[in-house]
Amino acid sequence: MEISREVKLLIDKYNFKASKRLGQHFFTSSSALNFIVEALNPSKEKNYIEIGPGFALLTREVAKYAGHIYAIELDERFKPYYDENPIPNVTFIMEDALKVDFDNFHVDEIYGNIPYYITSDLVMKVARSSLSRAVLLVQDEVATRLTSNVSEKAYGSITVFTKFFFEVKFLKRFPPSFFIPRPDVYSSLIELKRIKTYLPDDDAFLEFVHSAFNHRRKKLISNLKDLYNIDFLPIFDALHLSPNVRPDGVSKDEYIALFNEIRNFAK
């Protein structure tokens, strides 16, 4: 059955109305679903977490090739559907994904269609876990922020945070017509491949970057003077950073070097 017709039949059968509060938009494109499965490239040797399975159409396809899937769904209205349509190697968990400890499961990777309102928090939660890879469908605006480069308009603290832990790759854009209800914006599939294990000490660096971007239009050195009572000019000079540079003009590696220099200077 064509996926768009299947989704419509399920919505009618369960008298289901998508929740704006939860940012629910359901796939109606078989080609998009197949592309996501191919991008994830699931293996029987690996276990997965899925965020927001909804009517589990993507779940069902991934399950054909995966070891085990822990599908985390916040909306309790889906529970009758899951009870009536079990999948042998899938455990449906009715919880808030932001409150679940991902490391309680023996999983390797995470994927899902992510609501806009939890994307930043979810990315940071994945970063702080032991998960090695994420394939996430997010709003196009978020994908642009996560994949942007130095001096681009979308470049910000979340860009630096994400690239601190992951190699970030844009995979594909999907139009609003691929979803029910139709969203106002495009969605994009991105891949996060871990390059650094999270350590508790990393929180100090993340806070440093967050503070650096507090006032995007101010010079970086001015923002930092609100935090530290030290002479920054020798540090900037040593790192070949202009004293006039703004927060979005500094790369991830330069932020790391700057943070380490300031921390050593402050000792």
pLDDT digits (tens, 9 = 90+) for 231-265: 899 999 999 999 999 999 999 999 999 999 988 87
Q: Is residue 267 predicted with pLDDT exceeding 90?
A: no
> How far is residue 156's CA from residue 82's CA, in Å, rounded to a whole number?
39
| 169, 194 contact by CB (below 8 A) | no
pLDDT at 20 over 80: no
Can you read off the two tokens belonging to residue 86? Answer: 């079990």
Q: What is the CA radius of gyration of the chain?
A: 21
Determine if the pTM surpasses 0.95. Answer: no
Q: What is the mean pLDDT of residues 146-153?
A: 95
* pLDDT above 90 (res 6): no
Strands 48-51 and 69-72, bridge-based pairing: parallel
Architecture of domain 202-266: Orthogonal Bundle (1.10)
Contact at 8 Å (CB) between 62 and 39? Answer: no
CA 148 to chain centre: 14
Q: Tell me what the mean pLDDT of segment 161-167 comes to.
A: 97
Q: What is the pLDDT of residue 266?
A: 63
User: Using one digit for the tens of pLDDT, what is the confidence trace for 209-230?
Assistant: 999 998 888 999 999 988 888 8
What class has domain 3-194?
A: alpha beta
Q: What is the mean pLDDT of residues 49-62?
A: 95
Domains of the chain, by residue range, sit at: 3-194, 202-266
